[in-house]
Amino acid sequence: MSSSNRLLQFLAIFSVVFVFFKIYYKIHDTPKNGDSDDSDQDSWFLVSNKTEIFDNWRECVKLKLMGLEDPVEFWKQFVDSTRKCDEEAQISKLGVTELEEQKIVIFPKNEDENNHNLITLGVGQSTIGEESYQRKMQKLNKNVDFFGADSTVDKNSEIYSKFGKFFPFAVARHPGFTNSSIEKNGELIDQNVAHVDILYFLKDILNVQKIDNLWIDAEGAEYELFEIFDKNGVLDQNDIELCQVNMEIHISEEGEDNTNSEKQKIFMEFVKKIIEEKKYGIFKASENLHMKIYLFNFESEYCWTVLKEQRNRIEELGEMTEFFSQKQIDEIRECFNFYATGGVLKTSSQLRCALRSLGYSPTAAKTQEYYKKQNKKPIEFANFLDICKDEQNSPDPLTEIIKALSGLDRNKTRAMPSRELAAILSQVGERMSPEEIKYLLSKVEVNGMVPHQALIEYISR
């Protein structure tokens, strides 16, 4: 190979590797200020087996909670006990994400084009959580129908109607009146509120058979809604499938009627029944004045389809563990998430940057080739991992650099003039700026020369 060709070879390899280091330091030294709507998707491809996770969680809470008989003690231990079981069962691997206002969701991973829905019972003069969910679903190219109901019309109607349909009444288990806490002029006051039956609301007014997300903040009226979660209960009898639920559990101050103890007993019975019936899991519990819980329906095949594509991808990733270690896969995933938009790499430029940040050195043509193999469709993590496998089998760039330097070293000095290196980097291939060249030379130059060893050590640090 001629000297000029050796120079070109050196440049092509070296400039790519140097760009890798620029990107590497950008990732590790620069705060990630990207939109949280994108970063929340970093759990898309976490390893998950719904049966194993649910069974492990259920066995854990059975041991911790089923033996408790005192409602007050049960209430006190519930959050800590279930949180520990969440951790032991690794429920985070399901892709659980926390939104604004402590709302919990698992985002859909399948490619269906059907509209999703979110029903809010008790708007509470704030739609921050709903709007956060809407933004994130839009990034996934998913459409959502929003339905909100609240007996307090002022403000609630105005803010909810901006993105969904608002209903000016309360919803409860049965029609009639319920004593609820209503916010007026910034204060909560107890008053009788007229409400409609939840089955009538869902079946006749909304005409829904599938509920993707139900958010309940009924200001104390939620206790009578507990029975809708019963296996073979009113929802099952009417073929209504409920997937994900966020519910706030209110508890009044103790008074002469010992309201706390009564409600705590109802709550204890509700949780124990959930555990016994093996239909829902109760995750991510928290308590700050009131209890907040998240439920996911593991029995419904429809509800599980939101994770179906994730499960298929995990099966594909399982094959990759024979090639990459789990630690390597985690590092590749971190890099992928940094460059991905909405969980995918949408352009060949994004793909090339992601590969380079991992130390690979694909040419522009090679990157285009990878992208064309995907029919120019967005590249998901499983596809990206497969591309990384191909790159891993490519020649080691550092080895190639050493070969190139050896070919250029006609006088066997094991060094090259600084001006020669600067000319190459500024004129051929992926040209570097004068500032970048000056910075590089400040690190490796010795008396107007660049020792090969200094250059190699700098690149391989």
Question: Phi and psi dihedrals of 116, rounded to 5?
Answer: -95, 170
What is the reported pLDDT for 281?
Answer: 95
Asked whether the beta carbons of 108 and 140 are under 8 A apart, the reply is yes
What is the reported pLDDT for 330?
Answer: 74
Task: Residue 372: count other Cβ atoms within 10 Å of its Cβ.
Answer: 10
Counting as low any pLDDT under 50, the low residues of the chain are 1-9, 15-35, 38-48, 254-258, 310-315
- Pairing verdict, β 241-249 and 290-297: antiparallel
Asked whether the beta carbons of 159 and 127 are under 8 A apart, the reply is yes
pTM: 0.61
What is the reported pLDDT for 268?
Answer: 96
What is the reported pLDDT for 308?
Answer: 57
In whole angstroms, give the CA distance from residue 257 to residue 272: 24
What is the reported pLDDT for 197?
Answer: 93
Average pLDDT across the chain, whole number: 80
What is the reported pLDDT for 398?
Answer: 61
What is the reported pLDDT for 22?
Answer: 44
Going by C-alpha positions, the residue among 345, 341, 343 that lies closest to residue 362 is 345
Q: Which two tokens stand for residue 65?
A: 């909670």
Asked whether the beta carbons of 376 and 369 are under 8 A apart, the reply is no
Element (H, E) at 333: helix 326-339
DSSP string, 339-391: H-BTTBB-SHHHHHHHHHHTT----HHHHHHHHHHTTTPPBPHHHHHHHHHHH
Domains and CATH numbers, the chain: 1-33+321-461 (1.10.238.10), 50-307 (3.40.50)
What is the reported pLDDT for 289?
Answer: 78
Q: Which two tokens stand for residue 97?
A: 């994400």
